[in-house]
């Protein structure tokens, strides 16, 4: 019996391998499924990863989610918390010598409008669970326990499929591969080889994450600061803090806990590049804030005696020269791992997903014979369009981390200059035309397709 798709004059759907079952991997998979492609997610863990911390999506990112598949945005809306504040205040954490002085308006360095970026925040794990519930259960979309160890593209040899090789000895054949395997991406290492960008590097920033009792946070910072998100800036460190949201993510649970993210500059090398987490102590945190204002030092006494610190790795030192080679590409943190100081890393990954979904849908519209080269052309166009904006974000986020810690030479401790830099850079994130991005990518793809000779090779 012949191919049923041939009998009705249609080409078979494109087959995709998504390496990595994190947020961007699942979002990309859902976008491709929505466009009728056959998708398999290969996740090295034995179950969906527990990815802990909170993150947020801008208005631009939400527009991309809507365009990928409206069900993705619906899933986010069920777990997201919208900030009730119209502004975010940035406070001096270092100079005030009394708690009373720290609460006065004179200690507020500046404030920025919340409406432009319009963040929706949520816990990563909760959003991932909402997303995975959207995956069709009858199509064997997800395979756990699959550690990628290599692949054979075979594009130049005229092979129809990419062959993936896994640590358990199994293989898989697909039309294309998207590596969404995060900061420590195996796909990136295989794609870039000996290039220094194959491995993300320590940004010399680390973060202590902890929960403090809400009454103690109010006593240390004052009710006005402890009941909203705010930032405290100072020498070689800064803190982002906010009250914990209730389970329904609609109202602030003032009786629960206070979230503390303390970012600290670290001049030393991180001792273990294979692990970003190390055990730490409250004493170590207190030493990092020696000489800071009493409101900050009192808040640190509320931390547990034993806690962890996490190294932040990014790709600022060695940006990837390309995000694609042949029929294999990388997206999200695998392509442009960033520090969190713009709060836009996840949003950039979502933009990647939309461009990939649209271009690969276009690539699949050609004949079966042309598909391998059309897919390669689509991935080259994706890389060309996304390199500039994403790598700007990586470097700018590094810069913002230094500004918040009074280490950036052009701003120092000058709050006026820091605010001006922040607003100028922030605008590049929110004042962005998603449809124009996709249109530009399509034009780049079409240009490469037109250059393809009759044998399908560019």
Tokens coding 390: 């994403």
- pLDDT tier, 6 (very low <50, low <70, confident <90, very high otherwise): very low
Within 8 A by CB and 6+ apart from 277, the residues are 308, 309, 310, 311
Q: Pick from 387, 269, 391, 389: which is nearest to 338 by CA?
A: 391
What are the beta bridge partners of residue 309?
A: 208, 278
Reading the block at residue 352, the tokens are 């990647």
Measured CA to CA, the distance from residue 296 to residue 212 in angstroms comes to 13
Beta strand 142-144 with 38-43: parallel, antiparallel or unpaired?
A: parallel
For 437, the token pair is 């991005």
Instruction: Provide the pLDDT confidence category of residue 86 given band limits of 50, 70 and 90.
Output: confident
CA distance 243 to 114: 17
Catalytic residue ranges? 209
Neighbours of 275 (CB within 10 A): 11
Mean pLDDT of the chain: 92
Confidence label for 2 from pLDDT (cuts 50, 70 and 90): very low
Inform me whether the pLDDT recorded for 430 exceeds 80. Answer: yes
Q: Is the pLDDT of residue 74 over 70?
A: yes
Pick the residue with more confidence: 244 or 339?
339
Q: Are 318 and 201 within 8 A, CB to CB?
A: yes
Asked if 40 contacts 143 with a C-beta cutoff of 8 angstroms, the reply is: yes
Instruction: For residue 306, give the 3-state DSSP assignment.
Output: strand
Long-range contacts of residues 95-99, Cβ cutoff 8 Å, at least 24 apart: 95/293, 96/293, 96/294, 96/295, 97/293, 97/294, 98/294, 99/220, 99/222, 99/293, 99/294, 99/295, 99/298
Q: Return the structure tokens found at 203.
A: 């940004």
Kindly report the pTM of this predicted structure: 0.93
* Rama region for 197: left / alpha / beta (φ>0; ψ in -120 to 50; rest): alpha
pLDDT score recorded for residue 122: 87
Kindly tell me if the per-residue pLDDT of 345 is higher than 50: yes
Contact (Cβ atoms closer than 8 angstroms) between residue 174 and residue 15: yes
Supply the DSSP symbol for 107. Answer: G
Summarize pLDDT for 110-167 with one digit per residue, the tens.
999 988 888 998 888 999 999 999 999 877 899 999 999 999 999 999 999 999 999 9
Predicted local distance difference test score (pLDDT) of residue 115:
86
Segment 290-335, tens digit of pLDDT: 999 999 999 999 999 999 999 999 999 999 999 999 999 999 999 9
Residue 192's CB is within 10 A of a number of other CB atoms, namely 20
Confidence band, pLDDT 50/70/90 cuts, at residue 24: very high
- Count of beta carbons in the 10 Å neighbourhood of residue 165: 15
**What does the alpha-carbon distance between residue 389 and residue 385 come to, in Å, rounded to a whole number?**
8
Residue carrying structure tokens 């994450």:
209
């Amino acid at each position: 019996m012949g191919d049923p798709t041939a009998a009705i004059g249609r080409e078979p759907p494109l087959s995709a391998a998504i390496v990595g079952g994190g947020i961007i991997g699942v979002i990309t998979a859902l976008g491709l499924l929505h466009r009728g492609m056959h998708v398999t997610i290969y996740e090295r863990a034995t179950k969906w990863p527990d990815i802990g911390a909170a993150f947020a999506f801008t208005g631009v990112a939400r527009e991309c989610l809507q365009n990928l598949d409206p069900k993705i945005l619906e899933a986010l809306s069920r777990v997201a918390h919208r900030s009730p504040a119209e502004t975010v205040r940035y406070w001096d954490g270092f100079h005030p010598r009394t708690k009373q002085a720290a609460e006065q308006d004179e200690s507020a360095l500046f404030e920025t409008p919340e409406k432009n970026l319009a963040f929706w925040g949520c816990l990563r794990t909760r959003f991932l669970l909402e997303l995975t519930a959207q995956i069709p259960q009858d199509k064997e979309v997800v395979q756990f326990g699959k550690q990628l160890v290599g692949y054979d593209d075979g594009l130049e040899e005229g092979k129809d499929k990419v062959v993936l090789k896994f640590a358990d000895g199994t293989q898989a054949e697909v039309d294309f591969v998207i590596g969404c395997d995060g900061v420590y991406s195996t796909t990136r290492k295989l794609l870039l080889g000996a290039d220094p960008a194959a491995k993300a590097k320590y940004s010399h920033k680390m973060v202590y994450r902890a929960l403090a009792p809400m009454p103690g946070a109010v006593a240390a910072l004052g009710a006005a600061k402890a009941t909203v998100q705010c930032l405290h800036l100072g020498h070689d460190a800064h803190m982002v803090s906010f009250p914990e949201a209730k389970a329904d993510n609609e109202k602030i649970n003032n009786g629960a806990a206070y979230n503390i993210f303390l970012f600290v500059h670290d001049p030393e090398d991180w001792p273990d590049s294979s692990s970003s987490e190390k055990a730490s102590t409250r004493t170590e945190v207190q030493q990092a804030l020696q000489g800071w204002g009493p409101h900050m030092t009192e808040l640190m006494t509320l931390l547990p005696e034993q806690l962890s610190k996490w190294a932040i790795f990014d790709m600022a030192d060695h940006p990837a020269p390309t995000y694609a080679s042949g029929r294999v590409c990388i997206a999200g943190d695998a392509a442009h791992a960033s520090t969190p100081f713009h709060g836009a890393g996840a949003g950039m990954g979502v933009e990647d997903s939309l461009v990939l979904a649209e271009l690969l849908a276009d690539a699949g519209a050609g004949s079966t014979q042309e598909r391998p080269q059309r897919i390669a052309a689509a991935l080259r166009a994706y890389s060309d369009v996304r390199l500039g904006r994403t790598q700007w974000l990586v470097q700018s986020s590094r810069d913002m981390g230094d500004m918040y810690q009074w280490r950036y030479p052009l701003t120092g401790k000058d709050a006026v200059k820091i605010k001006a830099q922040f607003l100028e850079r922030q605008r590049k994130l929110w004042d962005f035309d998603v449809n124009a991005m996709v249109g530009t990518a399509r034009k780049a793809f079409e240009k490469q397709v037109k250059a393809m000779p009759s044998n399908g090779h560019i």
